[in-house]
Structure 1
Amino acid sequence: MPLSPFPPDGLAQPSAPHPALPLSAYREAIGLDEPFRPAAAPAPADRLDDHVRTVLQLLGGTPGVSRLGPRAHSLLDPGAADATTVRQLLRTLLTVRPPGPLPGAAAELIDAVLGAERRLRPSVAVRQLPSIAEEFPRNPYRAARHTALWRGDITTLAADAIVNAANSALLGCFRPLHPCIDNAIHSAAGPRLRDDCATVMALQGTSEPTGTAKITRGHHLPARYVLHTVGPITDGRPRPGDAAALAASYRACLDLAAEVGTIRTLAFCAVSTGVFGYPKDEAAQVALRTVAGWLAAHPGRFDRIVFTVFTADDETAYRRALGKAA
């Protein structure tokens, strides 16, 4: 059955059990070990808006435009909207655009835009974050010296790898401006990330099972790599086996990252707790327990694992879970 590039509502869909594609089967196909080299230097700040408008002109005839409605065509006029609206339109268009080659000079211009935006967005060095042991000196968590809890935007973390909570099509979220981590990561990384995911999924030939992971380069992200994992969908009501499935997602990411020798620091998002609905407190306990168990079984493999949270509720959930951890 062919993969649909437009998963409904950005959610993972149930998939029949099947073997997941090993890293060795796609590593070379996506150039995983090659440094990302953008096709153009970052645009000067005073030329950024011009670059965005030119890209929109070049993308005006692509299939994604028709999905945005008639107003999109009027905004493609370089003088039709302010800079913020035009940049939002480009992000929207890239969100709904299927994988595949970009027309003309669009790839170079998009690299220039994303490179400039990365320069304007401060990055956070993972190795400078305080460990849980340093931040919570009396906390009993057994992996406290090798882990950190950080609240912020994971797309700004300068880690060796970050984790994306993906859907089972593994192509990113196709809903314009949808506030999911999948959308945020693909938007910051750029369209090559979707192309890499499409290559991996074409080789696998079927949807990604829950509890497994794939890895790609991070492209325009500060992180060199992105690990994509599909966690369980609970709609707030975990079923028997969901905790095991969530733990499997965390272990799959750690196992896969360990296959890439240059990955020493890894930042997790709160897998499954967004649109997938896993209760935050329970998910935090699973994450802390699973990571601690993996690190105990593989001492010295990673220098720092970061539990990244975005909202105050997420952070509170982890603080509560740390109070119960051992």
Structure 2
Amino acid sequence: MNQLAQRLTPLVSYLADERAHTGGWTPGIRTDEAALSAMTAQDLWALFRAFVNTREPIEPDKGWLKDQDALLHDIIADRGITAIDDACVIPSATDPRLRLWRGDITAIRADAIVNAANSEMLGCWAPGHLCIDNAIHTFAGVELRLECARIMREQGTPEATGRAKITPGYNLPATHVIHTVGPIAAGHPSDRDRELLASSYRSCLDLAVAHGLHSIVFCCISTGVFGFPQQEAAEIAVRTVRAWLDRHADTSARADRSGEPADSDHDSTPTTPTVIFDVFGEADEHIYRQLLGIPGNQAA
């Protein structure tokens, strides 16, 4: 048994024992000590992720949590962490405030990454699902669902489309996660869907400034299972972000000249955040390269 398997085994054993008492999803295979000791690190990781994805937001044992945090920290470090100033994060040729990066959003160090959430705001519950919501919650650790559950209990209602919430990033390289619920377009967006998608981008930027953040990494909101066409979604994203940055920069400039906020409805700050558009696939990369005026074929 290699070192990763040795570290995963007690974590998975705890989760399996916990699930036997709480009920819920089970893997349909043996999870006793003998069975776990015979598994590969890859199988143990898949089992760990599945248990975490389907785990209710309840406080775990502190020792278990400490071991989880250490493991996730090491796994993320071993995969490699990208900084927003690395050469692979490419500035727009037409707007230096905007950058493009193709890669796993859980591997970038920034003040905030954006999670494409659902209205429950508790992450993806499908074991091992390869959506961004699942990945962010997996690598942040169980603390993220706990914090999201606390926020939603206080709110008392599902999160509205086009709004956003901010949490710590926990074990992620990003300091914060901004969660937003994009519109469900099912391939045919309405004018209301277009406005709600723009609202998601503005809400995330508003939160970033309110919390003094200097960089924010956007995923492609609503273009996955929510079915917003990629080209149109990207056009809305870039147009909305540029307009928000222009307006905020103008507000800040007027505040600097007057010594007072120029718009009482918006916070003033001397700087606007650097915005990185993160894409995962070739098609999205091609679209954003065209919109940002970046030549070539590779952004990773």
- Shorter-normalised TM range: 0.7 to 0.9
- Cα shift readout 1:148-205 (whole Å, capped 9, x = no counterpart): 0111111111111000000000000000111111001111111101111011001001
Per-residue deviation at 1:47? 3.4
Match of 2:225 in 1: 275
C-alpha displacement at 1:72, in angstroms? Answer: 5.1
Aligned 8 A contact 1:53 1:76 in 2: no
Residue of 277, 292, 297 corresponding to 1:307: 277
Q: How far off is 1:113 after superposition?
A: 1.2
Q: Is the 8 A contact 1:94 1:191 kept in 2?
A: yes
For the Cα contact (< 8 Å) 1:57–1:77, is it kept in 2?
no
User: Structure 1 length as normaliser, TM-score?
Assistant: 0.78
Alignment partners' CA distance in 2, 1:255 and 1:75: 49
Separation (CA, whole Å) in 2 of partners of 1:281 and 1:65:
43
1:132 alignment partner, one of 66, 75, 92: 92
Shift of 1:130: 3.0
Match of 1:118 in 2: 76
From 170, 175, 179, the counterpart of 2:121: 170
Q: What is the DSSP-based 3-state SS (H/G/I as helix, E as strand, rest coil) of the residue aligned with 2:161? A: coil
Check the 8 A contact 2:27/2:47 in 1, yes or no: no
Higher mean C-alpha deviation, range 109-118 or range 307-316? 109-118
Q: Which amino acid aligns with 1:243?
A: R
> 1:74 deviation in Å?
5.3
Equivalent position of 1:96 in the other structure: 54
Displacement, 1:286? 0.3
* Matched-pair contact (CA < 8 Å) for 1:234–1:277: yes
Normalized against structure 2, the TM-score is what?
Answer: 0.85
Preserved CA contact (<8 Å) 1:127 1:304: no
| 2:15 is the counterpart of 1:59 | yes
Query: How does 1:151-162 map onto structure 2 within 5 Å?
Result: 151-162=102-113
**Displacement after TM superposition at 1:78 (Å):** 2.9
Q: In structure 1, list runs of 5 or more residues that go unmatched.
A: 1-45, 134-138
Aligned mate of 1:195, from 127, 142, 146: 146
Aligned pairs for 1:262-301 (under 5 A) are: 263-299=213-249, 301=271
Q: Distance in 2 between matches of 1:162 and 1:69?
A: 31
Counterparts of 1:159 and 1:130, CA distance in 2: 15
Q: Are the aligned partners of 1:57 and 1:76 in contact in 2 as well (CA < 8 Å)?
A: no
> Which residue is equivalent to 2:164?
213
Name 1:317's counterpart in structure 2: 287
User: How far apart, in 2, do the equivalents of 1:104 and 1:298 lie?
Assistant: 43
Q: Is the 8 A contact 2:16 2:51 kept in 1?
A: no
* Mapped partners of 1:90, 1:289: distance in 2: 40
Post-superposition CA distance 1:88-124 (Å, at most 9, x none): 1001100000111113632122112112112212111
Segment drifting more, 47-56 vs 146-155:
47-56
Answer yes or no: is the 8 Å Cα contact 1:231–1:249 preserved in 2.
yes
Name the Cα RMSD after superposition. Answer: 1.8
Whose RCO is larger (CA < 8 A, sep 6+)? 1
Say if 2:190 is the partner of 1:239.
Answer: yes
Query: Could you tell me how far apart the structure 2 residues matched to 1:76 and 1:260 are?
Result: 48
Deviations 1:48-100 (Å, cap 9, x if unpaired)? 32121011112222237741243153588332311110111001100000111
Question: Please, which of 202, 206, 224 is the counterpart of residue 175 of structure 2?
Answer: 224
Percent identity reads: 42
Match of 1:145 in 2: 96
CA contact (8 A) 1:75 1:86 kept: no
